[in-house]
């Protein structure tokens, strides 16, 4: 006989950020991410993102790059604590979500950038739980 239901499967659960989990083993992946973002062909678009001057051609390459980086976090291959402390995935998602939603609809690919969206939700929780350092 089955026991009581402990988890309601109809309630979606969101991955929670793991705090204080960064280790020396995260450094190579983190440095690789920084290189990707701060060297061309990505650095100009990333700079425009940070300064609020995104151009139409910036969205797809950056969204794809954030999807790849987010996949590492979603699968626990890089510390979310380190990633979300350095990058504002939640704020980036806010700038990209309308474009990605439109592309999902146009292409019929509901999974487009789903890891980016998942990481953005976790990054939002991280930001809410951690006050600014200053």
pLDDT in tens, 37-78: 999 999 999 999 999 999 999 999 999 999 999 999 999 999
Q: Per-residue b/e over 9-47, b at no fewer than 16 CB within 10 Å?
A: eeeeeeeebbeeebeeebeebbeebeeebeeeebeebbe
Residue 91, classed as helix, strand or coil, is helix
Query: What is the domain partition of the chain in residue ranges?
Result: 24-129
pLDDT in tens, 95-123: 999 999 999 999 999 999 999 999 999 99
Q: Are 79 and 21 in contact (CB under 8 A)?
A: yes
Name the pTM for this structure: 0.82
């Amino acid at each position: 006989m089955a026991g009581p239901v402990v988890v309601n499967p109809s309630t979606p659960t969101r991955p929670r950020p793991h705090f204080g989990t960064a280790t020396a083993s995260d450094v190579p992946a983190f440095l690789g991410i920084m290189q990707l973002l701060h060297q061309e062909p990505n650095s100009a678009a990333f700079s425009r993102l940070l300064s609020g001057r995104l151009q139409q051609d910036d969205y797809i390459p950056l969204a794809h790059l954030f999807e790849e980086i987010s996949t590492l976090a979603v699968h626990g291959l890089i510390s979310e604590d380190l990633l979300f402390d350095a990058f504002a995935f939640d704020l980036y998602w806010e700038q990209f979500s309308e474009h990605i939603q439109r592309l999902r609809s146009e292409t019929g690919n509901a999974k487009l950038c789903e890891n980016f969206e998942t990481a953005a939700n976790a990054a939002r929780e991280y930001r809410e739980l951690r006050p600014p350092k200053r």
